[in-house]
Structure 1
């Protein structure tokens, strides 16, 4: 693309965006000595911020959500605001950051390819399990995910505590205590009814 074409694109973008800006309502001048309120900011700047977000995320409903989150954040921090005039800058930055987060989540969701989901316990594998083994597999399914991960990595994967810690991102001590709690929970599930 030559310099003329680039200049033409820049001019077209500038004209389009400045044209959109001219459509925004002009906020009224604040009354002298009147404190700025969140309601004033919402009334005066919401439309402009929604348009900004629509341009960033390309979806009106998501843009509305981003702007609402920005106003909610401002409300949470209103008492700590040093300068009421800085509130508009805060809102604009919050909308940009919120839009970035939306786009990151979209990109992550688009790039995610779910693993091939296989029923790990097919009819054949279930038939080959003895009643005792089936009870253990059923008991494992009642555990919280971390406990189940630790036991499966330890006994099915044959990993050491250090290897489990690396694989799960938890400390070795947590691996040890999690495994202990998981084994207690499994033994509780497997204990015959009425047994102490």
Structure 2
């Protein structure tokens, strides 16, 4: 049963490839210099087939091939000959397909964190009002007190890290934080700053 499912997937992919490959590639003009347009016309479908086999999605394969030709255009002046250009395209298609597959795998593996105790809209509105009150209270503090509280409670830094970041001693960090918390509590309770 699984084998039949695998064969069906292969048949579906081959069917998509046949639909994409409806236009025959014209032979190159003898003796004419090769241009990027010639390479596009002669090799685009081959590169699309390669990309479809790698990413299993015709529209994504087309995007990968377009990016490869865009890169070829940027590097056109530095290429030696047609073989180098075709090699560049093939490598660019494979690398572009790998990038697509990596992004797919990352998106598939990412599971957003589940919030067990999600807050209600009312509690979020209250939090916003409370948050604004804290921000307003912080704005009344002297700069050093504001820095210490922000680094401690919003930045999550330890006293030692705050001391390093601000250039003051740990004892000063501790006393500054204590005075700042008292000032914020006064402002938020309506007592105003002293």
TM over 0.5: yes
Pair 1:27–1:96, CA change in 2 (3 A): farther
| Structure 1 consecutive aligned stretches of length 4 or more whose deviation exceeds 6 Å | 161-164
Cα distance, 1:51 vs structure 2:
1.1
Give 5+ residue unaligned stretches, structure 1: 1-8, 138-150, 165-171, 177-196
Pair 1:114–1:45, CA change in 2 (3 A): same
CA contact (8 A) 1:24 1:48 kept: no
Pair 1:80–1:125, CA change in 2 (3 A): same
Pair 1:27–1:119, CA change in 2 (3 A): farther
Match status 1:85 vs 2:78: no
Match status 1:31 vs 2:30: yes
Residues paired across the two proteins, number = 140
CA contact (8 A) 1:27 1:45 kept: no
Question: Aligned match of 1:44 in 39, 42, 45?
Answer: 42
How is 1:1-196 mapped onto 2 (pairs within 5 angstroms)?
25-26=24-25, 28-32=27-31, 34-116=32-114, 122-126=124-128, 128=130, 131=133, 133-135=134-136, 154-160=152-158
Could you say which structure has the larger radius of gyration?
A: 2
CA contact (8 A) 1:53 1:66 kept: yes
Pair 1:122–1:23, CA change in 2 (3 A): closer
Give 5+ residue unaligned stretches, structure 2: 1-6, 139-148, 167-194
